[in-house]
Amino acid sequence: MAKLKVAVFASGRGSNLEAIIKECKNGKINAEVVSLFTDNPKAGAIKIANRYGIPFQISDYKDFKSKKEHENAIWEVQKLYEPELIVLAGYMKILSKEFIEERYNYKKGLPGIINIHPSLLPAFPGANAYLDALNWGANYTGATVHFVDTGIDTGLIIAQEKIKIYPSDTFESLERRGLEIEHNLFPKIIGLYADGKIEIKKGEVIIKD
Ligand code: GRF
């Protein structure tokens, strides 16, 4: 079976990008990272793409007059790689309704964009999920992989994994354990997507055995 072509969008460090590339390269999942898009010229993700020979596009929102123009510029390049799935791995911009809807039903009757978020959604959406969980005094948090819709961290949940929070935890210790889980969960879900094992029935995600 042909490999699922994945474009990764990332704004920062890129540790999830690297985890996904590794699982693709070692054949654990039937997918291939065909490109990286970043809106941040200083993103660590660029170095990672370089290291693995993945083509990348850098385009800063500040250089455009509107979100629409920026997204058009992104897609002008990304479409050349013919991605079948867009993976948001620490991508810090909100995509427009149009961009998201154009990628809907893209392949296998599923939304074509997924995201990973460092909490058990719907708890702690937004940009500071680990800190929010710590400050709230939660006993657990986790990681969620979900389809992207037009809200912030609101799309249909595909999979979640729990992490215990200990009284001694700091942001760093919690993030370290969280990332270990993300690096395992995210490629796994991309693999299931590639194998056609994810379905949406009556508004719920079903993972086939
Ligand atoms: C991860 O914690 C992810 O859940 C969130 O942004 C962070 C990205 O980390 N969406 P990295 O750039 O993949 O290292």
36-52 pLDDT, tens digit per residue, is: 999 999 999 999 999 99
Q: How far is the CA of 12 from the centre of ligand 1 (A)?
A: 8
The strand pairing partners of 107, in sequence order, are 110
pLDDT digits (tens, 9 = 90+) for 104-162: 766 667 999 999 999 999 999 999 999 999 999 999 999 999 999 988 888 999 999 99
Determine the average pLDDT of the residues in 56-84. 97
Q: Say whether 117 is catalytic.
A: yes
Determine the average pLDDT of the residues in 73-100. 96
Around ligand 1, the residues with Cβ closer than 6 Å are 10, 12-16, 89-90, 116-118, 182
Q: How far is the CA of 116 from the centre of ligand 1 (A)?
A: 7
- Tell me what the pLDDT averaged over the chain comes to: 95
Cα dihedral 113, 117, 120, 124, rounded to 10, equals: -120
CA distance 78 to 57: 8
